[in-house]
Amino acid sequence: MADEAYHIGNPPSAESYLRGEKIIEVAEKSGAQAIHPGYGFLSENADFVREVTGRGIVFIGPPPEAMEGMGGKISARLLAIEAGVPVVPGTTEPLKNYEDALETAREIGFPVMLKASAGGGGKGMRLVFEESELKSALETAQSEALAGFGDDAVYIEKAVVRPRHIEIQIFSDKHGNHVYLGERECSIQRRHQKVIEEAPSPINDAELRKRMGECAVKVAEAVNYVGAGTVEFLVSDVDKSFYFLEMNTRLQVEHPVTELVTGIDLVREQILVAWGEKLSFTQDDVQLNGHAIENRVYAEDLENNFLPSPGKITRLRVPQGNGIRDDGGIYEGSEISIFYDPMISKFCVHGRTREEAIGRLRRAL
């Protein structure tokens, strides 16, 4: 829907979408008053935010200090502990060496999870069931972390048995208002990356939702948050105990399911809040209606271990109908590039019940 386009560099993201100065240059050239960073690339880069605001352009997102506080998994854990939010037992400092890892693992008990402090998307993450696996797992996690993020800091935490990945959408404005908009369950994953997200979670009830929501708001308050953010938790399927994992200081790929069940346009709200307006709703206004599911559609070769499958889209037919929403960036004749994530659409359905939503999703897919 854009009516102006500017060339910012070659297709590899290091030569284009990760070059903040090129994006700021385009903003200035085009007269844009604000930059919306989406949910990848520079969306959680505090230095980029400072560059943008230093040029008198509005950044549609949180302040850089909030990004830095929540940017490292270890610093985020410390802030959560300080705010009185439960965290999975583990270290708050990067592991010094194998001996340190072994001592901690014995202390908290196997199974344990090794995680890159600066990581995401499953890189630098290893589940370790017993002592004999720990040394090689630590070495792999550290080398992956260094290659992926330029930082080999790894920490360790207790692995939660039968975990569910449930996150809370929060929204804050510049006037000190913090609201939670229910949860999304993202437990269906592949290679530690989400594939299907739904709202509300099939295991949540009003009481658990309120407790998790209030903890998420505490985390937002701890960093003076502004805008849309997501606080992620691990929830035990056994006893419904929950633990803070991390905070994503941006809009999430799966935000449409929250929009469908709350009726609130999160991107519109982001723009208004960045402009200095108060949230257009209060906690009491937030009502969850029906059930929504998002399915990530990938251009992948399922016969070749789901590797990306680039090429031209020769035919495209997108399902339509009641309760269907397709957030896609593709069309007939467009190219699936080798340079970016093979996710080509966020395909969402909404129904009065979970069963109705699943039925619609099956038919549409």
pLDDT of residue 285: 97
CA distances from 135 to 117, 149, 154 (A): 18, 21, 13
pLDDT of residue 197: 98
Q: How confident is the model at residue 88 (pLDDT cuts 50, 70, 90)?
A: confident
- In the numeric block, which tokens belong to residue 196? 């299907």
* Alpha-carbon gap, residue 342 to 191, rounded angstroms: 14
Percent of the chain with pLDDT strictly greater than 90: 82
- β-strands 242-248, 291-298: how paired? unpaired
- Is residue 1 over pLDDT 80? no
pTM, full prediction: 0.86
Token pair 């948050």: residue: 225
Told to judge if 50 belongs to the known catalytic residues of this protein, a careful annotator would answer no
CA nearest to 36, candidates 5, 1, 60: 60
Question: Most distant CA pair in the chain: distance in Å?
Answer: 60
* Alpha-carbon gap, residue 162 to 127, rounded angstroms: 13
* Alpha-carbon gap, residue 321 to 347, rounded angstroms: 13
The pairs formed by 133-137 with CB atoms below 8 angstroms and a separation of 24 or more are 134/98, 134/101, 134/102, 134/105, 135/98
**Cα–chain center distance at 35:** 19
CA-based torsion, 252, 308, 71, 186: positive or negative: positive
* Alpha-carbon gap, residue 272 to 270, rounded angstroms: 6
Average pLDDT of the residues in 162-177: 96
Q: Which of 164, 250, 296, 360 is catalytic?
A: 250
- β-strands 193-199, 227-236: how paired? unpaired
Amino acid at 343: M
pLDDT digits (tens, 9 = 90+) for 131-155: 999 999 999 999 998 888 888 999 9
| φ, ψ for residue 350, nearest 5 deg | -135, 135
CA distances from 140 to 111, 130, 152 (A): 17, 16, 10
pLDDT of residue 73: 78
Q: How confident is the model at residue 126 (pLDDT cuts 50, 70, 90)?
A: very high
Q: How confident is the model at residue 280 (pLDDT cuts 50, 70, 90)?
A: very high
Please, are residues 291 and 351 in contact by the beta-carbon 8 Å criterion? yes
* H or E element in which residue 152 lies: none
Determine the Cα angle at 344 with ends 342 and 348, to 5°.
Answer: 130
- β-strands 227-236, 163-172: how paired? antiparallel
Average pLDDT of the residues in 188-210: 93
- Is residue 201 over pLDDT 80? yes
pLDDT digits (tens, 9 = 90+) for 223-256: 999 999 999 999 988 888 899 999 999 999 999 9
Please, are residues 248 and 225 in contact by the beta-carbon 8 Å criterion? no
Q: How confident is the model at residue 211 (pLDDT cuts 50, 70, 90)?
A: very high
- Is residue 122 over pLDDT 90? no
- Is residue 81 over pLDDT 90? yes
E strands, 226-315, in order: 227-236, 242-248, 291-298, 300-301, 307-308, 311-312
Q: CB-based contacts of 58: which residues, under 8 Å, 6+ apart?
A: 33, 34, 35, 52, 274, 275
